[in-house]
Amino acid sequence: MNLVFDLDGTLIDSAPDIHAAANAALAAEGLPPVTADQSRGFIGNGSAVYIARLEQATAGQSEPARHARMLARFLEIYEMSHDRTRPYPDVPETLAVLRGAGWRLGLCTNKPVAPARAVLAHLGWEGVFDAVVGGDSLPVIKPDPAPLRAVIERLGPGPVVYVGDSEVDAATARAATVPFALFTPGYRKSPVEAIPHDRAFDRYPDLPSIAETLAGLAGAVR
């Protein structure tokens, strides 16, 4: 059985490090800082869109040359910035339980793959995931289903469940026709009831039983 996770807002709370890197990139351009709430609201559609939203909020528009400089600066800082990033409660223990039960685990994130692998190494999770696809691994990013399908292909045959925290993840799961478990404390912008999902949860110890149920549904469909 295959269980695929989003990263930011699902397994880890990285918003404080993203915010710090964003304000450093803004300062380098002489632009004012954004608040933590603003930064958090811009997360979810990949780094390039995130930087464009920063520009829009602070300068009124995105300019190609500035956007390229800010994106490069942001990624340079963020790849090495993990001090404020924390796993959500019970995540490491739950990942261990899932692997012990025979689940193959994958990661499908819009974060570029180098920062994604860097944070995995920082957390000691290098060997936890059998497949990792980042926001620059393919020409498209979520909610296009191609990244999720790429992870599924690398994991191998069997029922699949996707776990995420946002509207983007819900749309990705629906496009890939994969059951979706919504982690409600993450970075979603809408009420839980407005986000399509098969199950919702706010505690990681509940995930193994939820995943078993959804995998049964996926297996029945397949």
Identical fold between 2-13+85-221 and 15-78: no
78 — pLDDT class (breaks 50, 70, 90): confident
Mean pLDDT of 182-192: 96
Give residue limits of the domains in the chain: 2-13+85-221, 15-78
Question: What is the predicted pLDDT for the residue at 222?
Answer: 41
Q: What angle do CA 157, 160, 165 make, to 5 degrees?
A: 150
Give buried/exposed letters for 152-184 (b at 16+ CB in 10 A, else e). beebeeebbbbbbbbbbbbbbbeebebbbbbbe
Catalytic residues, by residue number, are 6
219 — pLDDT class (breaks 50, 70, 90): low
Mean pLDDT of 196-219: 92
The pair of structure tokens assigned to 4 is 């695929």
Class of domain 15-78: mainly alpha
The answer to whether residue 153 scores a pLDDT higher than 90 is yes
2-13+85-221: CATH homologous superfamily? HAD superfamily/HAD-like (3.40.50.1000)
Question: What is the predicted pLDDT for the residue at 218?
Answer: 63
CA-CA distances (angstroms) from residue 67 to 114, 115, 153, 190?
A: 20, 19, 34, 28
Please write the tens of the pLDDT for every residue from 5-49. Answer: 999 999 999 999 999 999 999 999 999 999 999 999 999 888 999
Q: Are 207 and 163 in contact (CB under 8 A)?
A: yes
Question: What is the predicted pLDDT for the residue at 79?
Answer: 83
Question: What is the predicted pLDDT for the residue at 135?
Answer: 94
Other C-beta atoms lying within 10 Å of the C-beta of residue 7: 22
Give the distance, in angstroms, between the CA of residue 108 and the centroid of all CA atoms in the same chain.
7
The model's pTM: 0.89
